[in-house]
Structure 1
Amino acid sequence: MAVEAREMEVRRRKSARPTDVFKMNDHVLPSLPQRQLEPKNCGIQAGLAPGHWDAADFLEALVGVLGEPSTLHASPQAWQDLERELGFELPEDYKSIIDGYAPVRLNAHLYLLHPATHRWNLVQWVRETVAVWSDVEWDDELEGDPRPILGVDEIRFGVARGLTPLLGSDRGEIVFLAHTAQGAESSIFVERGDGEFYYYPVSFAEWLYRHLAGEDMTGPNSSVFYPGPVKFANLPMSSADPETEWFGPDRNSTRTATSANP
């Protein structure tokens, strides 16, 4: 398949935006650590110096940015069912963020879905997104080819040595979980609708923290920074439920990564 045809196929087939997936199924639809992240679309992440924070630190910082989490939909059984279907465990920081805030839309474009809700269901979205992306034929020469990083010959989705969708946006982006060939902790690939993958060797909590702070976390020149508190919108659980909006804490009053580093 030619590159142009493949890119058209990706755009046509991809179920990155949660609204598209749910329509298909008749549902209603601050300061950072002192290190530089430079996304590469060549299968290599460069310019990344060791940081002082781990996933737990970024998770704590996210609570400061997003506000105290709610456990309204928290369900260990729902996560166990999803992980059993995938065949591996998902990162604890990701599950904590989803349990604490999903289902919700952040800053008008980023969708967090939950595995235990009937509508905006993460399990359904992951399953259908994996199926759609598994049908795409990938060229041997692919911009940002994840295969060297994953240590595989074939791009697979929803498996331990592949790419697993974590969330999507209404801008056509998908954030994927990945495990490298070196067996390191989980990292992130992002595809933003142009058929190219961008690699970030960070935890999900760090990726989301940096994304909300305005860094380029979905490829070059991709930053989306909203001054002031993070904007939330609930995802209605029925067609009769209204959509409501609210805001997180003042960012100036929250703990920041730079202030915590020596």
Structure 2
Amino acid sequence: MTSIDRLISLCPPPPIAPPTDWPAVERLLGMRLPADYKQISDTYGPGTFCGFLHLYHPHAHTSWTSLIGPMPSTIRTQLQREHEQGASPLPVGPQDLFPMAVTDNGEYLFWVTRSGVSPDEWTVAASQARSFQWYTYDGDLAGFLTAVLSGQEIVSLFPDSLLDHGAFFTPRAPAAHLTAVQPEQSSAMASSSDIRAWASDHGYEVPVRGRIPVEILDAWQQASTR
């Protein structure tokens, strides 16, 4: 039984997931992607594991959780800046970290993409939202998800209540088309202070510092596009 088979058995996917033109996605990103990630994305589609972990997807309903949206580039730029300032002790160089998921608490999950290593051999790393603590997993994404959702792997950055309701996946309506956000579009997006102010005005509890929770980013984007 493969890691994907074990994941599907542990956490049933929705009956239908949108197809993805992976050659087009890889052209947009300028790199190849791991086979297990593409299988997971094709099986589950965009959505959330255990109401907590949002795997980036090319058809994500919001650019904040899109693999081809602004967030991967934005996060890598932030990591590079913190690394140059000596503020963030990274498990590897920032150029070898590619964001591919985010949690509701603001932790980012990364592929460790060492030069010369096949995408199918990329491992997993995660950063804590409001500190410089890191977690690493010496295996692929499918193995990581299976280990975490089965309770075999405990990630100290994740809440103890993660599996209180078992392993489940909540699908989200996919975006209709693959649309990459260009750098000039990304830079034109609202600042975090603007989003915090909007959230406060609309009754959301938003931290004054640290990462803004995904559900607030999602609500802001939906309101701003109406």
**Partner of residue 49, structure 2:** 106
Residues 168-201 of structure 1: CA deviation (Å, up to 9, x unaligned)? 1101111101134673611111112123332211
TM-score (norm: length of structure 1): 0.54
Task: Identify the residue that residue 67 of structure 2 maps to in structure 1.
Answer: 123
Identical pairs, percent: 21
Greater length-normalized contact order (CA 8 Å, ≥ 6 residues apart): 1
Which of residues 87, 92, 97 in structure 1 aligns to 2:35? 92
Deviation at 1:80, TM superposition (A): 2.0
Superposition map of 1:1-262 within 5 A:
57-67=2-12, 70-75=15-20, 77=21, 79-116=22-59, 119=62, 122-125=66-69, 127-135=70-78, 136-138=81-83, 139-140=85-86, 142-147=88-93, 155-156=94-95, 162-180=96-114, 183=117, 185-193=121-129, 194-216=131-153, 218-219=155-156, 224-227=161-164, 229-236=166-173
In 1, Cα distance between the equivalents of 2:141 and 2:9?
16
- Larger of the two Rg values belongs to structure: 1
In 1, distance between residues paired with 2:40 and 2:168? 16
What is the rounded CA distance, in whole Å, between the counterparts of 1:168 and 1:231 in structure 2?
17
Higher helix proportion, which one?
Answer: 2
Deviation at 1:71, TM superposition (A): 4.7
| Alpha-carbon distance between aligned partners in 1 of 2:8 and 2:98, rounded to the nearest angstrom | 24
Q: Which runs of 5+ in 2 are unaligned?
A: 176-226
Across the aligned residues of Structure 1 and Structure 2, the Cα RMSD in angstroms comes to: 3.0
Structure 1 SS opposite 2:67: helix
TM-score, normalised relative to structure 2: 0.61
Contact persistence 1:191–1:218 (CA under 8 A): no
Tell me the alpha carbon deviations over residues 212-242 of structure 1, each in whole angstroms, 9 at most, x when there is no partner.
122455446765542564233332459xxxx
Could you tell me which runs of 5 or more consecutive residues in structure 1 were left unpaired when the two chains were aligned: 1-55, 148-154, 157-161, 239-262
Partners of 2:124 and 2:137 within 8 A in 1: yes
Which residue identity does 2:35 align to in structure 1?
E
